[in-house]
Structure formats: C-alpha cells, structure tokens
Structure 1
Amino acid sequence: MASDPPPFQPVYFIVVVWGDEYRDYLCRYCLPSLTTTGNFGSLPSGAGHRLLVCTTPADWERLKDAPAMVGAAAFVQPELVPIPPRPDGVSNCQHMGVGHKAATDIAFRAGALVVHLTPDMVMSEGAIAAVLAHWRRGKRVVLAAALRCAEEPLFDSLARQGVFASRADDQAPLPIPSRTLTAAVLSAFHSETLSYEFDSTYLAEFLPAAWWRVADGRGAVVHSMSWAPILLDYAAITDHDTSMLSHWTLDGNYIDANFGADAPAHAVLDSDELMVASWAPAEDRRRDLAPSWWKGNTALGRWYRRMILWSSYRSPVFDDTKRNLFRLTVRWHAGEMGPDWADVERRAGTEVAAVAGPAGGPGSLSRWAFRLVARLREWPRYAYLVRRGADLTVRALSGEADARRRLAFRFRDALAGLGRGRR
C-alpha cells in the first residue's frame, strides 16, 4: 500500500453477488482489475478499508478462500454482509437492493468513502487513485458514464490486446490501461447501447443516453443520464434514504435523494482519466436494430430523433442530477483525439442544447406540434404504468407488505415530482 497518511475516512468497496456465474465474474475480472498498483495499491495504509460482500452464506463459503479474495485481502478486509437467497418472482435488480440497503447503512454509520462495484465490471488501472485525488480536492461524489457492453466481443478484444497473456492464473491481478479498456468497450457495445447511437436509423424510442461515432468507431462522444457511482462520501450526508432500493437499483434516484443535484461532484468526462466496463451476454435482451425510414437523414428523420431525445430527457424516470449530467460532453477514445472531434461535438451539442435548454423545442416545426406528437408517443407507456399501478394497489390492499412499501414510495416520489414542477 501507499505510505501516505490515511484519509479521514476508510474506503469501503461494496458488491452484491450470488450464484456461480457472478461469483466467477467477481473473482476472474472485477477483483483482479482492482488488485493492482493504481487501484487497491493506491489506498493509504492503516485506514481500515473494507470489502463488503453482500451475498448468501453458501456463496460466501465458496468466495472467502478464492485466490482473488485472498489477493484483495492484502489491501482491504473482506467481510460478509449476509443476504437471503433471491425469492421466486423477485427480479435480480430488486434483490440487489437488499444488499445495497444493508451495506450502505453500514457505510453511512461509519462515515466511510464508498466505491460501488458490480461483479460484472472492471476498472482501468489507476481508477481508484484518480477518484481519491478528486476526494482530496473536495469532491464528495465521483461518477462515470456507464453503458452496457456485450460480453463476448468485449473479452475477445481484451484478449487480442494481450490483457490476459501475462496472467499466472485466471484470478491473478489484471491491470488494464484506460485506452486498452476503452478500445475494447468501443468495439463491443451491446445492441442496447448501439440503439442509442443518435445518428442511426435504428435509434431506440427511449434514450437514457445518446452517443455519436467518431474516428471510424475508435471514439465516441457521449451524453448520458446513466452514470455509475464510482465514489460516494457518506460523511457528507446527515440522513440516509434507502426507500427506493426496495424496487430500484443504485442507478435510480438514490444519489439525487441522498446527495442532491448540488453536491460537490466530479463527472469523468475523458476516458483517459479512468474507464469502467460492464457487460451482459450479447443475447441478453438483444435489441432489434432494423432500420426505420422515418429516422433517416432527412428533415423528418432529424426532427423525429430529436423528439425522442426531448421526451426521454423530460421523462419522470430521470431526476435533476441525471438531467444536469446529460448536458456534459463525455469523450471515450482509444487514441489521440483529432480535428474530427470538434465537428462531432458541435453536432452533438446542438442536439443536446435543443432538448436540455429551458426552451428545448422542435426546430423547424412548431413547438405545439412537437409536444403533441411526443405526448401521443407516451400514451402506451402511460397506459402500462396505470395498469402496473392498479395491480400494485390491489396487491397492497390484499395485505402484501412489499406492495404497500412500493406504493408508498411511488406516492412520495409523485408528490416530490409535483413539487419540482414539470420541466
């Protein structure tokens, strides 16, 4: 470990994991990418750093003596935070909230710095050193844009770049330079992420992010409302709200509810600073990328794509923090940024300004028509939400405790939305 004086708070790494597949991801990729000089090795010594592993007792028995866990223990103290097996009928995302609620409460009581991990992610070499430097400069939240990769091409690209060649075994330390990881990410976007390419004729009908291709695919300009919390300082908050974790993951409104849109924060805007990659199998929720003529490079197509972005940006799914972050330009690049970047950033900035400004509107068509079409597109979603709400109400009235909690949270969230006003 580094010999610097310890920070005021220890650093807690939190991960929720269960099952053979995700234990394997954690031990073969996630922890090894951190057991390096610029990650775990950058932690100041003697500060009581911990690795909180939220898992079942049975999974813990298989994890605690794994080589990757033993390697991590040289820097952080692994500790079990027990969670029950996932019940039938409960989604993985919802069950993750059980672990996140328990572990974040531990971190809040300790006033710790927290790095949130998932088993299916890797960080570039030097990422932890970079976020700790921002904390020392007064930042209390550090975020990185997060878009999904397809597992198979991601690991194929890392293998072709020689990342795994020098490993003594498949749980040995795995330092990945940021440009190496960025090159792999750019070559391995999941079909979900591909459908967020703004200039494409297969643009998704709902956009948590939009990106523009640069330099023959060796770079991307990204504007995102999907961000991973890389570092959170729990000593900076006086209250801790975990109610949303009963039905949502950390990438919901957890950060906005606890740290607020005005927290001293740093958003990673250049992949050279640090890169994070997460993945899912290519066939997992594969998107149909069939072209649509009405999304083409015509006046109608450009207007329609902007309308999708406009209605997505104003969706109640997103909070103030995410909308503020969407305005920022993120640059992912596997090489040097050439003169073509300026043109792409200018085009992307024009689209973002049109929808994210106080008077975002339709461009060449009248604003009322733009808003009317956007509202018509939302009707099926509203009908779906009404059906879901009715079902939840019936379950709550029948005495189902989880349904009552979720209904109460949605009611409070709706009241908060009314207080903020329609944007």
Structure 2
Amino acid sequence: MTRLSTLAALLLGLSTTSQSLAADIKIGEINSYSGLPAFTEPYRKGWQMAVDEINAAGGIRGDTLVVISRDDNGKPGDAITAANELVAREGVVMLTGSFFSNVGLALGDFARQKKVFYLAGEPLTDAMVWSKGNDYTFRLRPSNYVQAAMLAEEAAKLPAKRWATIAPNYEYGQSAVAVFKELLKKARPDVEFVGEQWPPQGKIDAGSVAQAVEATKPDAILNVTFGADLVKLVREGTTRGLFRDRAVVSFLTGEPEYLDPLQADAPQGWIVTGYPWYGIDTPAHKAFLDAYKARYNDYPRLGSIVGYALVKSAAAILTKAKSTDTADLIAAARGIAVDTPFGPITFRAADHQSTLGAFVGKTAVRDGKGVMVDFTYRSGNDVLPAEADAAKLRP
C-alpha cells in the first residue's frame, strides 16, 4: 500500500506539474514582406522586440506569446490563403498585420466570415473601420481620415486655390484623395481640383505624370505616392520644375522609410505626415529608441513603431480577455488602453479605431539627408469624429 500511495502521489505530482507548465498562445501575422521591404523589415524588427519584451515579463498570464508570420506578397488572395492556414493548421487565436489597404479589407472580410479576431496594423483606408467595418476587425494606424484632417488643416492656410492630385490607383490612394478633397473644400469652399493623376502602384511613369500635372497649372499639389514611386516622382518633378513655387502636401513622405532613400534630393518645404525619430523628446519614445538601437544597432522607422505597438496591443487584449475565444477578445479590445512609444492610445469601442496619432511638419535637408522640421504630434483624438458619429458610418 505504501508503494501504491507513493506511486499515486508521484503521478499526481507529475500531472500537476504538466498542467502548470506555460503553454503557447499563438497569433498569426500577415504582411507584404517581399512587396515592400523598406517598411516591413523594420516592422518585423519592431514586433519581434515586442514579443521578447512581453515574454521576458511573464508572457500572457504566464503563457508564452508566439507569433507565426506569413508573407502575403502584396496580394489579397495570398493573404486569404495564409489566413486560412494560420487559423486551420496553426491554431492561432487572432490574426494581425497587413500593409496594403486592399489586402487589409480582404482580411477584414475573412475575419467577418470566419468569426476570427483581426487586428490590422497598417492599412489606412477608412473603409477598414467605417463603411466595411465589422465586429471582428480593429485597426491600429491613424487612418486616411486622420492624416487627411491634419494635412487639410495646414493646406487650408495656404493661398493656393487650384489643386492637382497624384495618388496610386488602388484603395489607399483613392480613399486618401477623396477624404482630403472633402475636408479641404469644407474648410476652404473656394478651392478647386483641376487635375488628377492615378499611376499604378509601384509602376509610376514619373515623367508623364509630372507633365500631365504641369499642364493643369495648379497652385498646389497633393501627393499620396510612397516608396520607389515617391523617389521617382520627386526626382523627375524636381528636374522638370514641377514643384518650383508650388506648395506640396504629402501623405507619409516624412516617414524615414520613404524620405531616407532620397538623401540630398529630398524635397524641401513639403507639408507632410511622418516620423521624426531624431527629434521626439518624450520618456516613452526615448525608452523605445534606446532599446531598439541597443538591439539592432540601427534607428527605427515608422514600421518599427507599428510592429511594436501592434504586438503590444495584441498582448494587452489577450491579457485582459477572459479567454482566447473570439467573443472575449472583442469584448476586451473595445475601449482598451495601450501604452505605445507615442504615448497612451485607446481602441475606440464604437468603431474599433485606435487613437494613435501622427506627426505633421515640413521637409528639409540637413547634412545631406531629408528630415522633418517644425513638427508637432497630433493624437487621433484631436481629429477623429465623435464615437457616436463614427458608429453611424458603420454597416
């Protein structure tokens, strides 16, 4: 009997120990790594740093956070294939990520159909949380509306009345132009838009675009291109004198991913949104900057912030939720507060949009590199519609 009692106690102890061992909580991450490495590689570094910090601090209530990542190649179809695999085979409890707005919308619809929680990182189209929003989809980055509102406020101060626009011909570009037009005309009914150019994303014929815009004789230009297209447009437009004596307002151009490649060719005096990492003097950002530099021996890009804040947000939701069931994740995410390198943010309950903001300033060249100057940080709270009004924009 003594031997049997001892064996039973041993088995019970082993059972108790196995139950107390930390489990893995897996989240799926999908992004356009091969399609836009200038943004997604710093983004990957950001979320990897966040994962390590979270697990070093005890994980999710003692469980290890694991991120399983997939490349969508910038294609909605590939993103859906990856999402199916992550949910069905890998058993992830939520999906995160994506860059391009059309890809994000596809994943949002997948989340709705499959009843899976989806935390979008980068897609900027307002449709993500408004006209095509759903219970299962939340978004981190400041939307086209948020950035357009900030830029339109500055644009309205200019004497310019005749505007031309240049934007990539897909969901992001179309949405950005539409909301900028709406907000600028609301602030300045006297302005008119005299020309539009819609180059295909990643395939801009900068010479033809510059020539067509010049033919409309605008007083000012709205630019929404980014990446390699932006580099081509800036260099060709500068050569042709397109920007001489004209105001330019530009989404995203102040982000180091897109400003750095231009070096001394960077435009000067453009009104932009961006990330002046070298000039942000807050404790939260300093702690992030120091940790990032120590880990990677490099400075962060805006993608680094997005990746880091995305996983920190996912971890906060998982920690608050009663379980990893989708319904509990949704309940936890609505109204949750999260600390980020830009300061505290909230995921609004009414429309699932976070209040993460953006820096607005002007471009300049210093020491042979493009930088942002005269910048200020604007919280999403400053410009987002009231939650009651935003809720009416959803299906």
User: Could you tell me the TM-score, scaled by structure 1's length?
Assistant: 0.26
User: Larger C-alpha radius of gyration, 1 or 2?
Assistant: 2
